[in-house]
């Protein structure tokens, strides 16, 4: 799915977080949105996801030559971010079964296969409230990357992951991120060094 930003800006109260973004995220390409903490990366990602409206400009979504209605965009988008919560009363199996009532699994993956991919077979019946922060982050990434969506948004994807978890992240994004529009928000190069293109949020800060 192509995502076309035309003069996009977002402000908080009277302060512009960013403005004047003209950019097209093309289908099948991978992008890194770069900037320091608090620069507006996550805000831009939420605008792209359709969960925040821009303060200025327009955003359009295209599947080939066909526009995607804004109310249907969510069906084509999956996202993993530190600020998104999991349903912690659910077990891992229950969470996956619940999630895939709303999203199709990629490549017809089964719940058992995704749990195996996570390496969490022994924790499949454990409530998520007992998961470590790293286990929760792996789960968020698997939900995003194993959903059959054409647009995948990852915000600080290696948050709470140790070295083994980071290697796992690189493997799963390499396996399931290809052929989709993939956007990674980060300020750590190992999280996005595979991306084809970069967009620096600081290029769109209001100058006095």
63-122 tens-digit pLDDT: 988 999 888 888 999 999 998 999 999 999 999 999 999 999 999 999 999 999 999 999
131-188 tens-digit pLDDT: 999 999 999 999 999 999 999 999 999 999 999 999 999 999 999 999 999 999 999 9
Predicted TM-score of the model (pTM) = 0.94
Closest among 151, 172, 163 to 190, alpha carbons compared: 163
Closest among 189, 94, 81 to 144, alpha carbons compared: 81
Q: Are 13 and 39 in contact (CB under 8 A)?
A: no
Q: What is the pLDDT of residue 71?
A: 82
Cβ neighbours of 50 (radius 10 Å): 18
Sequence-ordered list of residues with C-beta below 8 angstroms from that of 9, at least 6 positions apart, any chain:
16, 17, 18, 19, 20, 21, 54, 55, 56, 57, 204
Q: Are 40 and 17 in contact (CB under 8 A)?
A: yes
Per-residue CA distances from 5 to 23, 26, 77, 107 (Å): 5, 11, 16, 30
Q: Are 176 and 145 in contact (CB under 8 A)?
A: yes
Q: Say if residue 207's pLDDT is above 60.
A: no
Q: What is the pLDDT of residue 208?
A: 46
Structural domain boundaries, residue 149: 2-204
CATH of the domain at 38: 3.40.50.300
Q: What is the pLDDT of residue 194?
A: 95
* Number of separate domains in the chain: 1
Closest among 186, 141, 142 to 42, alpha carbons compared: 186
d(CA 145, CA 34): 21
Tokens for 124, please give them.
Answer: 């499949």
Tokens for 62, please give them.
Answer: 């295209």
């Amino acid at each position: 799915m192509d995502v076309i930003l035309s003069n996009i800006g977002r402000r908080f109260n009277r302060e512009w977080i960013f403005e004047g973004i003209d950019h097209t995220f093309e289908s099948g390409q991978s992008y890194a949105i770069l900037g320091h903490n608090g620069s507006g990366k996550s805000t831009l990602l939420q605008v792209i996801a359709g969960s925040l409206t821009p303060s200025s400009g327009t955003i359009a979504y295209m599947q080939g030559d066909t526009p995607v209605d804004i109310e249907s965009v969510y069906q084509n988008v999956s996202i993993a971010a530190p600020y998104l919560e999991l349903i912690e009363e659910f077990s891992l199996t229950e969470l996956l079964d619940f999630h895939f009532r709303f999203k199709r699994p990629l490549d017809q993956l089964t719940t058992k296969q995704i749990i195996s991919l996570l390496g969490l077979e022994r924790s499949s019946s454990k409530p998520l409230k007992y998961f470590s922060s790293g286990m929760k982050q792996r789960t968020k990434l698997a939900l995003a990357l194993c959903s059959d969506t054409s647009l995948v948004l990852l915000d600080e994807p290696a948050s709470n992951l140790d070295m083994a978890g980071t290697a796992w992240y690189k493997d799963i994004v390499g396996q399931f991120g290809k052929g989709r529009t993939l956007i990674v928000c980060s300020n750590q190069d190992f999280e996005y060094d595979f991306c084809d293109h970069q967009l620096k949020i600081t290029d769109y800060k209001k100058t006095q």
